[in-house]
Structure 1
Amino acid sequence: MKKNYIYIGLMALMLCSSCNYLDIVPEERTKEEDTYSTPGRVKEFLASCYSYLPTTRQVLTESYDMICGEEISYFRKEAFSTFNEGDYGPTNLGMTSNTWQRVWDGIGQCYRFLEAMDKMKEMPELSAEELKHYRAEAEYLIGYYHFISLRTYGPTMILRQAFDLDTPLDDYPERSSYDEVVAFIDGQIEKALPGLAKEHPGDEYGRITYYTALALRSRMHLYAASPLFNGNDWYADFKSPIDGRNLISQQYSEDKWKKVVEVTEQAIKEMDNAGFHLYGDAEAGEPSGNKPGFAGNKAERRVRYCVLDTKGGDNPEVIWCDTRKEGQYGIQRRTVVKQTKGYVGDVSGCITPTFQSVERFYTNNGLPVEYDENYGDPYAIVSIPDDVDGNGYTADNSGMKTLRLHCDREPRFYANVGFQGGYYEIGQYNGATPGKSNGDRAVVLDLRFGKPQGRKNEGGAPQTLNYSVTGYNNKKLLPPSFTTGVVEYPLPLFRMAELYLNLAEAYAALGETDKCIDNLDIVRTRAGIPGVKEAWDNYSTQPKYYENKENLMEIVRRERMLELYLEGHQFYDIRRWKIAEQFLGVPVKGLNTLGETDEDFLKVVELDLLRRFHRGQYLMPIPYDETQKTPQVIQNPFYN
């Protein structure tokens, strides 16, 4: 670590009156007392404590968790498209290059804010209640920044104070064990809970609340109970250089799963009492200019808009949002379907689901394709049904061919994946408004070579950049109201569906089948598919499949991948489950984007995209310079 790795000078961030709370811009301050001389300055100082949080939608910098978890792919070009090639390491950090330093800078800023609060004179304009909220938010953020380091690097340092510029490097702490860091974060949550507000409406939306802290506790303990950190002999030699203690537990503890149940049931109970619930038909409403499309399939409408309908803080499912603007190079711009006029973005249509993601979604019976007894050959070429997704769109796909795999799938598939002959919801396409009504805002996709969304350049040569590399389009996180530029909306960081899935996973690990399934079915019902027992007993080739503990955990994991698709979870989930090689160590599959005919295009092929993974990459590498300057901060295992 640099000698001044905590100290960044006293900064405050000016709040933009026209923006949400986290949409903030740094401004240097020259005098310490300026940072708490007026109510506005105090609030700016608090905002600066938030400023080091990862910018989750800036795909060129820090959003590796959002887009590097195998769910989507991209042609080889930039950091996020090459990250999964496995070339990153302590001297070549790739997309993690900003994570290490920002965490410690953020923690230092929070401690300095708390020190400033201690020095601050009475300020009648700020109530005791608001000052209590400020302190609690800073305490929570100290814990949350430690969690960011924990989920990225595993066992990490615990900072209990801000360090001065002249602190000797030897005085900085070594890495604490994973369980010690969990206990510290738990302590920070306990400190924060009594002082956190239950809500922050209006322009304050995005500030931390009481329920944010409960949600973090659930996620943190879920990670701690998982195979990567709960009795993992991979890390038998991963020990403190000072006293030799193991930094990752070598003994499996069932009590860790019981702790997940305890804290998650508490969180769900308190949130239920406060009016939180899964986003439903009442919230989705009927099609409108702001929420067009999906007039015929209410389940598709629910699952598409539960992560998009977040403005104003009225979404009852969302627990905490990132309210910062997405920016010029956000996921939306790379997701929106390719157009030939009107909105034409150089990188549009480029973030695309892998074929593995397409296969992973359930059938309309709520089953994996390979277990649905009546599904037939998923790779057969068939004539696409006029109303393949049940929405009754008037866009004409008559006579088009597609894969059987694209038919009779679950609502989450149609809400999130654009495919050959299918429909893509969009407010304006090629400079015109599609369809006849707000419920009819969709165009038909033709992704064959030379076709409107296909790979061919104007000159006739195959594109090597700026095309759908897998032959699919992504819909997730793109508002169907998109016209000529990004639609700004708060991005959910915690939502209720995750809590039910956390609880289901804990019950599966404890062998409590019925309780696990009860929580899964809450999520499945909203998704418009049969419950676990109904699906497996009535439509599968293997009735009672869920009665085996390992099979039940497989069902839990798949449900999590589908419900939380492209929300930043899979990157960590496949690692904490110790199965990342199955996803990141195999070739990317897609359709043949050079195919001009249906028969050629609809062939499943391995793409010429390098993908490598080794055991060290279960944890991200610590910057080489930091481990050299402070030998007590040892490097993660398996990085040579």
Structure 2
Amino acid sequence: MVIKVHCMKKLLVSILCAATLFSCRKLDQPITRDYNEGAYWRNEEDLQAALTSCYENMSNDGYFFGDEALSDNAYVNGDGFDQVTRISSGAYDPSNNRVQGEWGYRFTCIRKCNTVVLNADKVPGIDSVRKHRILAEARFIRAYSYFQLVNWYGDVPFYTNLITIDEAKTISRTDKVSILNFIQQELTAIRADLPVNNYSGAANGYAEKDKGRITRGAAIALSARVHMFKSEWQAAIDDCELLINKSDNGSYGLQSSYSNIFTVANEYNNEVILDFQYGGGRTFSTQRTFLPQTVALLRSTLVPTQDLVDDYIMLNGKGISEPGSGYDENNPYQNRDPRFEATILHDGSTITDFEGKVQTILTKPGSVPATNSVEDQGASPTGYYFYKYYDRTATNYNSGLNLIALRYADVLLMYAEAKNELTQLDAGVWDMTIRALRARAKFTDEAALGFPGSSQETLRTIIRRERRAELAFEGIRAFDIRRWKIADQVMNKPVRGIKVTSGGFNTDPNGYIIAENRQFTNPKHYLWPVPTFERDQNTNLGQNQDW
């Protein structure tokens, strides 16, 4: 479980000492110093360094972007991103790289957090308010890590102490419900010790230099997300109402431009509730895998699916298959949700590359040049590329752009969904949530902006489609389709690409390219198996159903 040896980002801390836990103070810097237990916990700087190490283990770009291909939004061509394609296709086992890596990664983080929580009192002379803030941040990160674990694996080992090697070899799994209850209790308990997002320096010792650290709003938003996973609709509503149109727990709102949210120039805007910190010595080059190869000079492997493209509504608010939508199969990208163009590159899209040159992306068979078309082995096999999170400021393709984990738009969407599940979604709630999001996206047709006044089931379809469009390529969809229990429907069909009329491609009866056949078995694939390595070390872990 927590005794596997890793390196760099997968560094696993020794069970018996805290020697290699900690990094320097800045959130965006990598681990650069080693310590021994006897020389540690001397001052607040040591405690802050220990906390920074916890932050560094919250997420990595491979998981953040790779999670999209664990849903029907995206596809990874090959074994990149720790073999996520094998998971999506149903052709994996407990030795799969991602299955094993996620387990070790999260438990590494949990141990780091436990170390901070259990040792904070050893630090002499630290201000009580600052100490409790640090403890609250560590407890949040621990809760977040457990939340990731239970959503992938269900029941997992649970502990808040520093277990020994012998204990690690014998510990059993705690049921998912108990762990979720612990997470909820923690997220409630720490709120008062966390600052709000005003960066004024007056709130709980929070200052401009602390941007990117966890705030009270993050604890509330994550709590709402946990309630959504437990179908606790009223509790989710209560959490969301602490953030919507209020400032007691932070000042949040929608940015005027959807695409600007995901740029270095607009980091730390008031729509961002929590983001994973990059910059300085911590960067990622993942965008080279999802951009056209003429832009990033690397094979394009993480690509959007036709199913995602098809789910973007028309400017009149109708789905492309609805009567009166105005959808033209010969001009499929016209009059679509503006968020589509901000998220996905398609045939005919333009993009300014790293050298400042404007490129027109051509993906259809027979295109000249053919470099980005589905015919080229290094191009997207679906005929689409992701555009969101493209960072033109990256040096040598290495981006320091923060990756957003929680934002205000998600709070609005959770609120709308929970209200609908309790049959309380009226015009007022609609205007505050879905209308606001569509207006920000630059919809102008009242048919798209106005409250449709439909049945609960119809509204549920609209809200889920809205979540997909608003949050595409943000790592949310894989979790949504599992909590909605529709993964066995949407993942049990081929990955489709653009429609072609020639070229010897493998296509469906309608002429859409088939990039891969997927299989998702219910209930087996709703949970990942306990990794082989962990069960070899600890026979008490057991295994999930059908594995």
TM-score by length of 2: 0.85
Quick one: which amino acid aligns to residue 179 of structure 1?
V
* Partner Cα distance (1:130, 1:102) in 2: 28
Quick one: which amino acid aligns to residue 375 of structure 1?
G
- 1:131-160 deviation per Cα after TM superposition (whole angstroms, max 9, x unaligned): 222122122222222112122222333313
What is the CA-CA distance between 1:375 and the residue it aligns to? 0.8
Q: Give aligned pairs, total.
A: 520
- 1:284-312 deviation per Cα after TM superposition (whole angstroms, max 9, x unaligned): xxxxxxxxxxxxxxxxxx11112325655
Of 92, 96, 107, which aligns to 1:104? 107
Task: Determine if contact 1:3/1:168 at 8 Å carries over to the other structure.
Answer: yes
Of 182, 190, 208, which aligns to 2:214? 208
What is the CA-CA distance between 1:108 and the residue it aligns to? 2.0
User: Which residues of 2 match residues 308-457 of structure 1 at below 5 A?
Assistant: 308-309=263-264, 313=268, 315-325=269-279, 330-339=285-294, 345-347=297-299, 349-376=300-327, 378-379=328-329, 381=330, 404-421=331-348, 423-428=349-354, 431=355, 433-434=356-357, 442-449=358-365, 451=367, 454-455=370-371
Quick one: which amino acid aligns to residue 37 of structure 2?
E
Residue 129 to residue 513, structure 1, CA distance change in 2 (3 Å): closer
Residue 456 to residue 37, structure 1, CA distance change in 2 (3 Å): closer
Of 38, 61, 81, which aligns to 1:33? 38
Quick one: which amino acid aligns to residue 264 of structure 1?
C
Partner of 2:177: 179
* Partner Cα distance (1:52, 1:373) in 2: 49
Residue 502 to residue 456, structure 1, CA distance change in 2 (3 Å): closer
| 1:517 aligned onto 2:521 | no
What is the CA-CA distance between 1:86 and the residue it aligns to? 1.4
- 1:504-555 deviation per Cα after TM superposition (whole angstroms, max 9, x unaligned): 1111111113055232222222122258x833989xxxxx5x5211111111
* Partner Cα distance (2:16, 2:28) in 1: 20
Quick one: which amino acid aligns to residue 13 of structure 1?
F
Worse overlay, 197-206 or 43-52: 197-206
Partner of 1:636: 544
Partner of 2:443: 529
* Partner Cα distance (1:624, 1:485) in 2: 36
What is the CA-CA distance between 1:577 and the residue it aligns to? 0.7
| 1:68 aligned onto 2:97 | no
Partner of 2:8: none
What is the CA-CA distance between 1:558 and the residue it aligns to? 0.6
SS of aligned partner of 1:494: strand
SS of aligned partner of 2:409: helix
What is the CA-CA distance between 1:456 and the residue it aligns to? 8.0
* Partner Cα distance (2:338, 2:24) in 1: 40
Partner of 2:124: 121
* Partner Cα distance (2:282, 2:100) in 1: 20
Task: Determine if contact 2:24/2:33 at 8 Å carries over to the other structure.
Answer: no
- 1:59-93 deviation per Cα after TM superposition (whole angstroms, max 9, x unaligned): 6xx75423322212243343244432212222x22
Residue 38 to residue 595, structure 1, CA distance change in 2 (3 Å): farther
Partner of 2:9: none
- 1:318-351 deviation per Cα after TM superposition (whole angstroms, max 9, x unaligned): 0111113597864311223332xxx65222x443
What is the CA-CA distance between 1:580 and the residue it aligns to? 0.8
SS of aligned partner of 1:370: coil
Partner of 2:23: 14
User: Which residues of 2 match residues 191-202 of structure 1 at below 5 A?
Assistant: 191-199=189-197, 201-202=207-208
Residue 22 to residue 213, structure 1, CA distance change in 2 (3 Å): farther
CA RMSD of aligned residues (A): 3.2
Quick one: which amino acid aligns to residue 335 of structure 2?
D
Residue 527 to residue 548, structure 1, CA distance change in 2 (3 Å): same
SS of aligned partner of 1:260: helix
What is the CA-CA distance between 1:367 and the residue it aligns to? 1.9
Quick one: which amino acid aligns to residue 340 of structure 2?
F
What is the CA-CA distance between 1:622 and the residue it aligns to? 1.4
Q: Unmatched 5+ residue regions in structure 2?
A: 5-11, 198-205
Worse overlay, 328-337 or 613-622: 328-337
Task: Determine if contact 1:450/1:456 at 8 Å carries over to the other structure.
Answer: no
Task: Determine if contact 1:7/1:163 at 8 Å carries over to the other structure.
Answer: yes
Higher radius of gyration, 1 or 2: 1
Task: Determine if contact 1:7/1:165 at 8 Å carries over to the other structure.
Answer: yes
| 1:153 aligned onto 2:153 | yes
What is the CA-CA distance between 1:173 and the residue it aligns to? 4.5
Partner of 1:237: none
* Partner Cα distance (2:395, 2:45) in 1: 37
* Partner Cα distance (1:26, 1:507) in 2: 47
Residue 158 to residue 344, structure 1, CA distance change in 2 (3 Å): closer
* Partner Cα distance (1:630, 1:190) in 2: 33
SS of aligned partner of 1:375: coil
| 1:549 aligned onto 2:462 | no
SS of aligned partner of 2:347: coil
Residue 328 to residue 160, structure 1, CA distance change in 2 (3 Å): closer
Residue 485 to residue 321, structure 1, CA distance change in 2 (3 Å): same
Task: Determine if contact 2:217/2:250 at 8 Å carries over to the other structure.
Answer: no
Quick one: which amino acid aligns to residue 426 of structure 1?
T
| 1:51 aligned onto 2:56 | yes
